[in-house]
């Protein structure tokens, strides 16, 4: 990020790629490649990059929402039933959880 911003700033004041390369200690080819990139897009990508932590947080939040929805449905009179015809190899229960239930209205 530092090099990208430095190169774009130096190009902005009119320095050539060889001068910038000597100043930053990188190759002229690298300078030309960095000059073609947008600092805004690079910063946006860095800020909103998905990480393992953000993925884990999103998954746990989704699990809480699903559990809440299931509880609400159950409290409203819906009874879960398991589709016995499902292929267990295709729809395995993960981590010892129950198979994904479908809900039917209690009679």
DSSP-derived letter for residue 12 is: H
Q: Which of 13, 54, 7, 72 minimizes the C-alpha distance to 34? A: 7
Rounded distance, CA 7 to CA 3, Å?
6
Flag whether pLDDT at 27 surpasses 80: yes
Within a 10 A sphere around the Cβ of 72, how many other Cβ atoms?
10
Helix H, strand E, coil C: the string for 59-75 is HHHHHHHHHHHHHHHHH
Q: Work out the average pLDDT over 56-73.
A: 91
pLDDT digits (tens, 9 = 90+) for 82-97: 554 455 555 555 555 5
What is 26-88 written as a DSSP string? Answer: S-HHHHHHHHTS-HHHHHHHHHS---HHHHHHHHHHHHHHHHHHHHHHHHTTEEEE--TTS-T
**Tell me, what's the pLDDT at 40?**
93
The answer to whether the pTM exceeds 0.75 is no
Within a 10 A sphere around the Cβ of 50, how many other Cβ atoms?
8
pLDDT digits (tens, 9 = 90+) for 3-26: 999 999 999 999 999 999 999 999
């Amino acid at each position: 990020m530092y090099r990208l911003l430095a190169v774009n700033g130096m190009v902005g004041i009119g320095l050539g790629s060889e001068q910038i390369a000597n100043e930053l200690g990188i190759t002229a080819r690298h300078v030309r490649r960095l000059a073609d990139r947008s600092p805004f897009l690079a910063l946006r990508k860095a800020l909103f990059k998905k990480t393992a932590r953000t993925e884990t947080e999103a998954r746990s939040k989704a699990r809480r929402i699903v559990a809440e929805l299931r509880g609400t449905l159950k409290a409203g009179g819906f009874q879960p039933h398991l589709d016995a015809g499902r292929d267990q190899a295709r729809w395995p229960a993960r981590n010892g959880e129950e198979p994904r239930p479908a809900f039917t209205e209690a009679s």
